[in-house]
Amino acid sequence: MNARALPPVAGGFFDALETRPPAEREAAQSQALARQVAHAQRAAPAYATLLAGVDAGTVTSRQALARLPVTRKHELLERQRAARASDPFGGFAAAVRGPALPRVFASPGPIYEPEGATRDYWRTARALFAAGLRSGDLVHNAFSYHMTPGAFIMEAGAHALGCSVFPAGIGQTEQQLQAIADLRPAGYVGTPSFLRILLEKAQESGSDVSSLRRALTGGEALPPSLRDWFAGCGVDVYQSYATADVGLIAYETSARQGLVLDEGVIVEIVRPGTGDPVPEGEVGEVVVTTLQPEYPLLRFGTGDLSALLPGPCPSGRTNTRIKGWMGRADQTTKVRGMFVHPGQVAEVMRRFPEAGKARLVVSGEMADDVMTLRVEAAARPAGLAERIGEGVREVTKLRASVELVEPGSLPNDGKVIEDARSYR
């Protein structure tokens, strides 16, 4: 298979929402947010409890949203397990059975996710369009069609865009290559690793996969070296960021400068272990609020790390951009037989207004653990380090030395707990 010149991505935008003034978007989403909070309180039993006493009419800004609790995946799983006999969604969905929820999926846990009946429920048509796919194209869908929603997330968007879909799924590489040669799809959706397997196998066997010119990948990181390798094979590859819980979160454009947030979600970046939004550019956990009524997740902690990028996308889309997937936010670590998690570090730091960012470093060797809490602090009143150390002991029941450092000196990587132990 020889390298092929890549055609340019066709211009234009999926819809007018992508280019509206940011202030207009913020106003529209704020109004939708208040309605969604009221709907969740009324229709989803879990939120009737979690948001008891909250006046939905006042939740009309990001500042008000930040005062609501974050629900993380382990909490969602716990509620689902507790209510499994009567409600597999743990009280978070507006319906449990019937035509409003045509499919139910399972992710590891197991966590069960509903699919609503609305067209392009997962909102992925926007990402497919940005990747250059258009109405009339045939899409080779190599996400799994077994139990998990990945394949259906992409298929729904492709159908909404006017594309036909070949449901390839995973595995059976030789049969997939035969289908590509026979059907000549214009695009691929799936993981980047499986796309590489297909292209390498095509090179070995001489299979004709020259029709594949576009790809929208997800589920894995796409390093620049692999993107360049795909380009050398004549395939222009774009990234999408979606989850089984909330659907599309962000997508890549022809600018290749971060991922643009989807129009159907409100995204915050918060300090891991807390619900506190961090400044632009600081790495933190991606927290998503959905605006669709079927599964109204509010401040859902994805467990993924990312950071907000400054300025608009050079493609002309005006929504906020994020850097993309930068690792996992769940840094719970066992120290001397006890679990320590980022929320405990945050609880300690809330006691000390003089303190800024903090990073708990666990060093030494297993069974000989040493905890050092490094804390950014401009003002350092006498005894601050000792008082913080006492706070650590009260919250975690473990001792830690405290090191005060200059503001801005801790790495901007989203880590609150760093496991630096030797495991030899």
45 with 180, same domain: the answer is yes
Q: Specify the pLDDT at position 1.
A: 39
How far is it, in rounded angstroms, from Cα 61 to Cα 51? 16
Are residues 299 and 343 located together in one domain of the fold?
no
- Residue 360's CATH number: 3.30.300.30
pLDDT tens string 384-410: 999 999 999 999 988 999 999 999 999
Q: Among 262, 256, 412, which Cα is nearest to 327's?
A: 412
* Residue predicted with more confidence, 346 or 56: 56
The answer to whether residues 191 and 142 belong to one domain is yes
Structural domain includes residue 16: no
Residues 222 and 157 both lie in one domain: yes
Calculate what percentage of the chain has a pLDDT beyond 90: 78
- Higher-confidence residue of 101 and 333: namely 101
pLDDT digits (tens, 9 = 90+) for 347-366: 999 999 989 999 999 998 65
Alpha-carbon distance 166 to 120, whole Å? 17
Query: Which of 142, 160, 149, 159 is closest to 103 using CA atoms?
Result: 149
Domain assignment present for residue 415? The answer is: yes
Q: Mean pLDDT lowest for which of 211-215, 273-277, 325-329? A: 325-329
Confidence check: pLDDT of 159 > 60 = yes
Domain final residue pick, 294, 327, 360: 327
Check pLDDT > 80 for residue 412: yes
Indicate if 313 and 343 belong to the same structural domain: no
Same structural domain for residues 310 and 404? no
- The total of structural domains in the chain comes to 2
Q: How far apart are CA 29 and CA 263, in angstroms?
A: 9
**Rounded mean pLDDT, 200-208:** 96
Q: How confident is the model at residue 422 (pLDDT cuts 50, 70, 90)?
A: low
Long-range contacts of range 170-177, CB-CB < 8 Å, 24 or more positions apart?
A: 170/142, 170/143, 170/144, 170/194, 173/197, 173/198, 173/201, 174/201, 174/205, 176/140, 176/142, 177/201, 177/202, 177/205, 177/207, 177/209
- Same domain, yes or no: 90 and 143: yes
State which residues form the domain around 350.
Answer: 333-419
What is the largest distance, in Å, between two alpha-carbon atoms of the chain?
Answer: 76
- Check whether residue 408 and residue 303 sit in a common domain: no
86 CB-side CA count, 13 A: 6
Which is more confidently placed, 337 or 7? 337
Which alpha helices (DSSP H) does 138-210 contain, by range? Answer: 150-161, 173-183, 192-205
Contact present, 302 and 295 (Cβ < 8 Å): no
Last residue of some domain: 310, 327, 344? 327
The tens digit of pLDDT for each residue in 33-68 reads 999 999 999 999 999 999 999 999 999 999 999 999
Residue 320 lies in a domain: yes
Cα distance between residue 230 and residue 236, in whole Å = 7
Helix, strand, coil shares, percent, the chain, to 5: 30, 25, 45
pLDDT of 267 over the 80 cut = yes
Residue 60 lies in a domain: yes
CB atoms within 10 A of CB 351: 13
DSSP letters along 44-102, please?
Answer: -HHHHHHTTT--GGG--SHHHHTTSPPEEHHHHHHHHHHHTTT-TTTT-SS-SSSTT--
Q: Is the pLDDT of residue 265 over 80?
A: yes
Q: Same domain, yes or no, for 208 and 100?
A: yes
pLDDT at 171 over 80: yes
d(CA 421, CA 368): 9
CA distance 187 to 139: 5
The verdict on 308 and 394 lying in the same domain is no
Asked if 286 and 154 sit in the same domain, the reply is: yes
- List the end-to-end C-alpha distance of the chain, in Å, as a whole number: 45
Residues 173/203, Cβ–Cβ less than 8 Å: no
pLDDT, averaged across the chain? 92
Cβ contact 182:169 at 8 Å: no
- What CATH code is carried by the domain that includes residue 255? 3.40.50.12780
The full length of the chain comes to 424
pLDDT at 7: 54
Q: What is the pLDDT of residues 279-305, one digit of tens each?
A: 999 999 999 999 999 999 999 999 899
pLDDT band at residue 10 under the 50/70/90 scheme: low
Closest CA to 245 of 231, 265, 226, 230: 265
Residue 198 Cα to chain centre, angstroms: 26
* pLDDT at residue 9, rounded to an integer: 57
Burial (CB count within 10 angstroms: exposed 0-12, middle 13-18, buried 19+), residue 208: middle
Evaluate whether residue 127 is within a structural domain: yes
Q: Cα–Cα distances in Å, from 19 out to 128, 161, 384?
A: 17, 19, 49
Residue 153, SS3 per DSSP = helix
- pLDDT in the model for residue 3: 47
Domain identity same for 239 and 363: no
Q: Which of 300, 327, 354 is the last residue of a domain?
A: 327
Q: What is the pLDDT of residue 235?
A: 97
